[in-house]
């Protein structure tokens, strides 16, 4: 089962208003798949045939560009595994700190770690600039990418747009509720003033 949440936040997660969607499904000779919790799985397209045969292929794991936009500026990352270790789907692979929150990143697939992107540890801004190119976290050797559990670029884009719409609706409703509350307070204040004036006349 895919990890239900990419981030277990220790501080409140403040969603970005109208965060831009900037992920690309194909970059060079790679194909990128996405999860509901905003991780991505990038595979060289020439390896897809091998993957369908259940042969091991290399794929890179990271946070999607949309996911990093929602996080805000990332200021620190700690990768909690080493090369040659085996990770299971749902295992924590890194801890990320942004200006808004601190949380854990989970791998959406199982596999053996064949490479770690230490460049992002030394220069975390690579994740802020484009987490789907230079900002990947781990490279795994796996044979279990299940296309039924992941999304194509178009499917992921649609999900993110719907998420943004829901967030915008919540903000609009919150603003309306706040305005109604202010109006109620104004009415109460006027009645209170009238009551004081009437008492003064007596």
pLDDT in tens, 75-133: 999 998 999 999 999 999 999 999 988 989 999 999 999 999 999 999 999 999 999 99
pTM over the 0.85 mark: no
Instruction: Note whether 140 and 178 are same-domain residues.
Output: no
Q: Is the pLDDT of residue 27 over 70?
A: no
User: Does residue 159 form part of some domain?
Assistant: no
The total number of structural domains in the chain stands at 2
User: Does residue 8 form part of some domain?
Assistant: no
User: Does residue 157 form part of some domain?
Assistant: no
**Domain harbouring 110, CATH code:** 2.40.50.100
User: Does residue 3 form part of some domain?
Assistant: no
Instruction: Note whether 122 and 52 are same-domain residues.
Output: yes
pLDDT in tens, 43-75: 887 777 777 776 788 999 999 999 999 889 999
Q: Is the pLDDT of residue 23 over 70?
A: no
Q: Residue 102: give the domain boundaries.
A: 28-150
Instruction: Note whether 168 and 146 are same-domain residues.
Output: no
Instruction: Note whether 146 and 172 are same-domain residues.
Output: no
Name the percent of the chain lying above pLDDT 70.
75
In this prediction, residue 41 carries a pLDDT of: 93
Instruction: Note whether 107 and 177 are same-domain residues.
Output: no
In this prediction, residue 10 carries a pLDDT of: 34
Which residues 6+ apart lie within 8 Å of 102 measured at CB?
9, 10, 11, 95, 96
Instruction: Note whether 108 and 173 are same-domain residues.
Output: no
d(CA 83, CA 86): 9
User: Does residue 47 form part of some domain?
Assistant: yes
Q: What is the DSSP string of 71-122?
A: H-SEEEEEE---TT-EE-TT-EEEEEEESS-EEEEE-SS-EEEEEE-THHHH
User: Does residue 61 form part of some domain?
Assistant: yes
Which residues 6+ apart lie within 8 Å of 110 measured at CB?
86, 87, 88, 89, 140, 142, 144
Instruction: Note whether 87 and 119 are same-domain residues.
Output: yes
Instruction: Note whether 177 and 142 are same-domain residues.
Output: no
Instruction: Note whether 85 and 181 are same-domain residues.
Output: no
User: Does residue 201 form part of some domain?
Assistant: no
């Amino acid at each position: 089962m895919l990890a239900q949440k990419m981030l277990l936040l220790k501080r409140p997660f403040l969603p970005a208003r109208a965060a831009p969607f900037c992920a690309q499904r194909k970059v060079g000779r790679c194909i990128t798949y996405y999860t509901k919790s905003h991780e991505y799985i990038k595979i060289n397209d020439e390896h897809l045939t091998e993957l369908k045969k259940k042969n091991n292929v290399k794929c890179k794991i990271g946070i999607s560009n949309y996911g990093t936009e929602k996080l805000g500026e990332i200021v620190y990352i700690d990768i909690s595994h080493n090369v040659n270790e085996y990770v299971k789907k749902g295992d924590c692979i890194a801890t990320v700190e942004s200006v808004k929150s601190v949380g854990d990143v989970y791998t959406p697939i199982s596999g053996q770690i064949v490479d770690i992107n230490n460049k992002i540890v030394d220069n975390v801004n690579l994740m802020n600039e484009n987490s789907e190119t230079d900002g990947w976290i781990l490279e795994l050797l796996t044979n279990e990418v299940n296309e039924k559990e992941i999304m194509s670029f178009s499917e992921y884009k649609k999900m993110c747009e719907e998420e943004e719409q829901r967030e915008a609706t919540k903000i609009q409703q919150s603003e309306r509720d706040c305005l109604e509350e202010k109006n109620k307070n104004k009415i109460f204040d006027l009645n209170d003033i009238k009551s004081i004036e009437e008492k003064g006349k007596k």
